[in-house]
Amino acid sequence: MINKLRYSSIVVAFAFSAFLVPFVPAQADQKPSPTPEATPPRAKDGKKLLTAMDLLSVKGVGSPRVSPDGSRVVYTLSETKTEKDKEWKATTHVWVVPAAGGAARQFTRGDNSCTSPEWTPDGKMIAFLTDREKAGERQVWMMHADGGEAWAVTSQKGGVSGFRISPDGKSLLFTATDQPTKEEEDRKRLKDDTILIDQDLKMTHLWHFDIEKKEAKRLTEGPFTISDPQWSPDGTQASFTARPTPKADDGGLAEAWILNIATKEKRKVEDTPGSSDSVRWSPDGNWLAYIGARTMGDGVATTFLYVISAAGGTPREVSTNFDNNVGQPFWSRDGRSIYFSSNVFQTVEAFSINIESGAFTQLSRGGGTLGIADVSRDGQTIIGTSSTADRPNELFAANVNFNNLRGITDHNAWLREYALGDTEIVRWKSKDGMEIEGVLTKPVGYTSGRVPFLINPHGGPTAASLNNFNGLVQVLAANGFAVLQPNFRGSTGRGLAFAQANKNTWGKGDYEDCMTGVDHLIARGLADPDKLGALGWSYGGYMTFWMLTQTDRFKAVSPGAGLTNIYSMYSQNDIQRYLRWFYDDKSPWDATELYWDRSPMKYIKNVKTPTMIMHGQNDTRVPIAQAQEFYMALKEMKVPVEFVVYPRAGHGITEPRHSVDRVRRYVRFFAKYLDTPVLTEPAVK
């Protein structure tokens, strides 16, 4: 359950294949050494072994935008500071690099993050969001594109959620969340602040801001929430996405709208039964491209590419013959094609599609993950982010045919000093004969023989394990573990039928897909049948809870943020529509036996395996009560169990100290029960 939204909404750190591309060095950053090891652990070849602390030195590269003249790319770089006796904190700043590659330059600094950079249309300024003036309230700031001090542009109460600069550079569209009234603020101050569930919601609406006059005018009102505003090329209209509420459960109820800036009149882009999102204007302003599903709201569905006249009419489904999800559309300069990224098996690759014929072409074949982020104004250059199994996200640039794909940043060059586990795409037959694939990461320096083995099912369940850089898996590989990340039925990247193949059958076919993967690698002579373990997060947490109740083959299992009682989970979590689809489109009180039969708690008395449960204290996607139920049962049954709770954490673990703790606990837990030495982490004091 990493992602509530439909199977189409793939949340991926897009990346690319360095070994297939001539690399153009940008800035070969050195790895920070906030708390250096006296004697770093090393592999047999003398290279360093990756540790949990090392993962905090991985720099996050993202949000690239190409300058109007195509010569430079602005982007963000996230780094984690780990000062002794201080809170460890990740900050994001704005950088600029030549589009041809070369020395990258940092443009913003300080303790406050700067995000969402955009060029002004003349290329003379860079705008971004930061909360420098008031913590938690991001405003639009600007600075000269050749450097210098930045200044605040907006002063919206409560801050700005997102923004776009007008084609003439004189104004902004921005979104902002409605703020409490004075009466509400007074009540909160007096702690007279009772919450009425599903009714006390604050919507996000669209505003117009005149940069010179510093005047903000609200453009939308009503019981809906807005995101993703986009200017029309002539600056007279704006498109945006509206949903009924900001609740996660309404995430799949997206509708695309167009608004006249001067009159505030708005209309739906299309009037069909499906959802619509990510509207993008053609360069001449005559057409709109958007992605959407054929149905609205519920369950697992493919996102297709649609095109419609900007004046209105009937949309045309362009990607009918493309069975995977279409990502955000990017128009070619001549308006005849659209570029997008899509998950294909264990990769994310770039595609183009012809608007008239619907014929699509796969542009990249890097074997990792690659996400298109922008197209130059002249239509000649595509930029984005990319990763491979041995390389975190960096920026790439390519021509439109992708025959000169090149890296233009190198912020994680320090990783080349480390020995990493090799990855391989493995295939096997499941119990019913269905072919399943997965990503196998071998222990560092592996040549042959049986080794301690971990299976790591992904979340979602409509997500996919990808062949990109995975820090946790690489630390486990550094400690001698082989790790299999199976793309069991229900995963993305293999078409709609495969993505829907676990409806009504959680813990059946997908469980058999995982266990036959274990059998395959035992038969191959790699996995030691006496040293098997399992770990997973979210739906992967559900799968590992389920494994605990169905088999005693594993020596140790660690579920994280997992579901244990699907009946109670339905009412506790924030995505009922999505969950209901998997259970015969019924609520638990209308399908009690089905919900309970698929719940690990039903089979709790089967559990004998040592267990380490992890959970975020403030998780709303899978509330902590799910973990508490399972923990209490194992505790009373005298099964060896640890329950690790991360304060303030939601469905993911984001605080740096928590992240290090989680990785170290995995290493030590599996080393203990799989009788394997800890190679990279310090001994517990």
| Residue 557: closest CA among 608, 520, 605 | 608
d(CA 682, CA 209): 54
Those residues whose C-beta lies under 8 Å from the C-beta of residue 105, and which sit 6 or more positions away, are 95, 96, 97, 147
Alpha carbon distances (Å) from 481 to 177, 443, 484, 586 = 47, 5, 10, 41
Task: Measure the CA angle with vertex 543, ends 541 and 546; round to 5°.
Answer: 110
Angle between helix 539-550 and 509-523 (nearest 10):
70
**Does residue 547 lie in a domain region?**
yes
The DSSP call for residue 301 is -
Are both 544 and 569 inside the same structural domain? yes
**Does residue 7 lie in a domain region?**
no
Which residue matches tokens 């996919």? 464
Q: What CATH number is attached to the domain comprising 485?
A: 3.40.50.1820
Which residue matches tokens 């042959």? 448
d(CA 321, CA 284): 27
d(CA 582, CA 580): 5
pLDDT given at position 295: 84
How far is it between the farthest Cα atoms of the chain? 72
Q: Fill in the amino acid letter for 167.
A: P
Are both 424 and 410 inside the same structural domain? no
**Does residue 282 lie in a domain region?**
yes
Are both 455 and 381 inside the same structural domain? no
Are both 441 and 343 inside the same structural domain? no
Alpha carbon distances (Å) from 23 to 101, 390, 418 = 9, 14, 19
Sign, Cα dihedral of 320, 278, 250, 345 = positive
| Residue 371: closest CA among 351, 346, 400 | 351
Are both 470 and 514 inside the same structural domain? yes
At 277, is the secondary structure helix, strand, or coil?
Answer: strand
Last residue of a domain, one of 386, 415, 444: 415
Q: Are 60 and 78 in contact (CB under 8 A)?
A: yes
Phi and psi at residue 55, in whole multiples of 5°? -60, -25
Q: What CATH number is attached to the domain comprising 226?
A: 2.120.10.30
Are both 409 and 374 inside the same structural domain? yes
**Does residue 3 lie in a domain region?**
no
pLDDT given at position 1: 55
Sign, Cα dihedral of 401, 409, 442, 473 = negative
Spell out the alpha helix ranges (H) of 274-391.
none
d(CA 130, CA 115): 7
Are both 249 and 335 inside the same structural domain? yes
At 574, is the secondary structure helix, strand, or coil?
Answer: coil
At 653, is the secondary structure helix, strand, or coil?
Answer: coil
**Encoding tokens for residue 556?**
């140790």
Are both 203 and 167 inside the same structural domain? yes
**Does residue 683 lie in a domain region?**
no
**Encoding tokens for residue 282?**
């053609």
pLDDT given at position 26: 43
- Within the chain, how many helices (H) and strands (E) appear? 10, 38
Last residue of a domain, one of 380, 400, 415: 415
Alpha carbon distances (Å) from 663 to 226, 228, 456, 535 = 37, 35, 14, 11
d(CA 148, CA 293): 45
| Residue 150: closest CA among 126, 123, 115, 124 | 126
**Does residue 682 lie in a domain region?**
no
Last residue of a domain, one of 370, 385, 415: 415
Residues recorded for the chain: 685
pLDDT given at position 25: 38
d(CA 41, CA 46): 9
| Residue 258: closest CA among 225, 284, 280 | 280
Phi and psi at residue 199, in whole multiples of 5°? -125, -35
Are both 299 and 359 inside the same structural domain? yes
| Residue 575: closest CA among 275, 274, 273, 253 | 253
Are both 162 and 211 inside the same structural domain? yes
For the chain of 685 residues, list the mean pLDDT of each consecutive stretch of 10. 40 29 43 59 95 98 98 98 93 97 96 97 98 96 94 97 98 96 90 89 97 97 96 98 95 95 96 91 98 84 95 95 96 97 97 96 96 97 97 97 95 97 98 98 97 98 97 98 98 96 97 98 98 98 98 98 98 95 97 98 98 98 98 98 98 97 98 97 86
Are both 95 and 205 inside the same structural domain? yes
pLDDT given at position 7: 38
Alpha carbon distances (Å) from 312 to 231, 280, 304, 336, 651 = 17, 14, 19, 19, 41
Are both 32 and 128 inside the same structural domain? yes
pLDDT given at position 19: 27
Q: Are 478 and 471 in contact (CB under 8 A)?
A: no
Domain residues for the domain of 647 are 420-673
Q: Are 584 and 567 in contact (CB under 8 A)?
A: no
**Does residue 8 lie in a domain region?**
no
d(CA 437, CA 430): 10
Those residues whose C-beta lies under 8 Å from the C-beta of residue 448, and which sit 6 or more positions away, are 525
At 579, is the secondary structure helix, strand, or coil?
Answer: helix
pLDDT given at position 482: 98
Q: How many domains does the chain have?
A: 2
State pTM to two decimals: 0.94
Which residue matches tokens 């049954």? 637
**Does residue 11 lie in a domain region?**
no
